[in-house]
């Protein structure tokens, strides 16, 4: 189902404080219509009314069943990790940003959005944000780690989960070990990505 909005309305939506969905799948109905459809985690709900669980796109009112959250109401790191684990085992899909398929930079972008932070779509754009971390031991949950190829090009990004653990989309969303060499795949028992740098985008 598609409900198109004009460019002016779209730009207006960007200025509205965002409420986002945090359930992996959320059932939505057009007000007065009993046809159900799904929206995925990280979807914005413009003009959201928490009392009625409705939101507005253009002049159309929708009602949502499920959880939604103001991204500014909780600890950012906690929100990122809690939502990252909901994607565990989701398949890798280049260009994807949903539980049906997601790539590494889309994974980082959607999780930051769900925590109220806006970051660019691609890893090469994300890696210049925030402050640099010198050691893996400095990293906190929600910090980003970037990995390069033999030519020095950034090709992968993952989210630090806890000390020496990373959650990232590679084949599927998975948890592996990470150190100053890179990502150590716990299944194949070998390094799959070489560490380039780590960045802290969250101001504690």
> What are the pLDDT digits (tens) for 26-67?
899 988 787 888 888 888 888 888 888 888 887 889 999 877
Shared domain check, 97 and 188: yes
CA 62 vs CA 11, 68, 71, 118, 173: distances in Å: 20, 14, 20, 25, 31
Out of 69, 90, 121, a domain closes at 69
Residue 125's domain spans which residues?
76-200
184 lies in some domain: yes
1 lies in some domain: no
Shared domain check, 186 and 112: yes
Out of 69, 94, 110, a domain closes at 69
137 lies in some domain: yes
pLDDT recorded at residue 6:
67
When mean pLDDT is compared across 1-10, 44-53, 131-140, the lowest value belongs to: 1-10
4-13, Cβ contacts within 8 angstroms, sequence gap of 24 or more: 5/57, 5/58, 9/58, 13/44, 13/46, 13/57
**What count of residues does the chain have?**
204
Taking the C-alpha atoms of residue 176 and residue 174, their distance in angstroms, rounded to an integer, is 7
Shared domain check, 91 and 183: yes
Shared domain check, 116 and 89: yes
Structurally, the chain folds into a number of domains equal to 2
Known catalytic residue at 104? yes
Residue % of the chain over a pLDDT of 90: 59
Shared domain check, 149 and 84: yes
- As given in the structure block, the two tokens for residue 188 are 């194949």
Q: Where are the alpha helices (DSSP H) in the chain?
A: 7-13, 76-84, 104-114, 123-126
- As given in the structure block, the two tokens for residue 7 are 């460019």
181 lies in some domain: yes
Torsion of CA 197, 198, 201, 204, to 10 degrees: -150
Known catalytic residue at 156? yes
Shared domain check, 59 and 96: no
Q: Which of 47, 53, 104, 127 is catalytic?
A: 104
Pairing of strands 165-170, 54-57: unpaired
Shared domain check, 102 and 51: no
2 lies in some domain: no
Please, which pLDDT band fits residue 68 given cuts at 50, 70 and 90?
confident
* Residue 83 C-alpha from the chain's centroid: 8
pLDDT recorded at residue 196:
96
Q: Average pLDDT, stretch 159-173?
A: 95
Shared domain check, 181 and 86: yes
User: Is the per-residue pLDDT at 90 higher than 80?
Assistant: yes
Q: Which of 47, 53, 127, 156 is catalytic?
A: 156
Shared domain check, 58 and 95: no
114 lies in some domain: yes
Taking the C-alpha atoms of residue 93 and residue 74, their distance in angstroms, rounded to an integer, is 30
User: Is the per-residue pLDDT at 14 higher than 80?
Assistant: no
150 or 35, greater pLDDT: 150
Taking the C-alpha atoms of residue 112 and residue 105, their distance in angstroms, rounded to an integer, is 11
90 lies in some domain: yes
pLDDT recorded at residue 70:
62
Known catalytic residue at 53? no
Q: Average pLDDT, stretch 168-192?
A: 96
Shared domain check, 168 and 196: yes
User: Is the per-residue pLDDT at 202 higher than 90?
Assistant: yes
Q: Average pLDDT, stretch 9-33?
A: 76
Shared domain check, 176 and 94: yes
What interhelical angle do 76-84 and 104-114 show, nearest 10? 130
167 lies in some domain: yes
CATH code: domain of residue 110: 3.90.1720.10
Shared domain check, 61 and 101: no
Please, which pLDDT band fits residue 71 given cuts at 50, 70 and 90?
low
């Amino acid at each position: 189902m598609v409900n198109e909005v004009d460019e002016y309305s779209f730009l207006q939506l960007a200025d509205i404080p965002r409420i986002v969905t945090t359930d992996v799948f959320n059932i939505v109905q057009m007000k007065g219509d009993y046809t159900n459809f799904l929206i995925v985690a990280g979807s914005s709900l413009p003009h959201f009314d928490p009392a009625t669980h409705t939101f507005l796109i253009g002049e159309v009112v929708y009602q949502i069943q499920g959880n939604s959250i103001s991204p500014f109401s909780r600890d950012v790191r906690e929100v990122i990790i809690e939502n990252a684990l909901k994607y565990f085992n989701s398949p890798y899909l280049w260009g994807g940003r949903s539980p049906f398929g997601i790539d590494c930079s889309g994974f980082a972008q959607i999780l930051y959005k769900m925590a109220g932070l806006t970051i660019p779509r691609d890893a090469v754009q994300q890696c210049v944000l925030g402050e640099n971390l010198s050691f893996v031991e400095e990293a906190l949950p929600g910090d980003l780690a970037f990995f390069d190829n033999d030519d020095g090009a950034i090709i992968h990004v993952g989210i630090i989960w806890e000390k020496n653990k990373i959650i990232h989309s590679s084949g599927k969303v998975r948890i592996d070990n990470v150190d100053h060499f890179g990502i150590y795949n716990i299944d194949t028992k070998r390094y799959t990505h070489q560490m380039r740098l780590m960045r802290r985008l969250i101001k504690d």
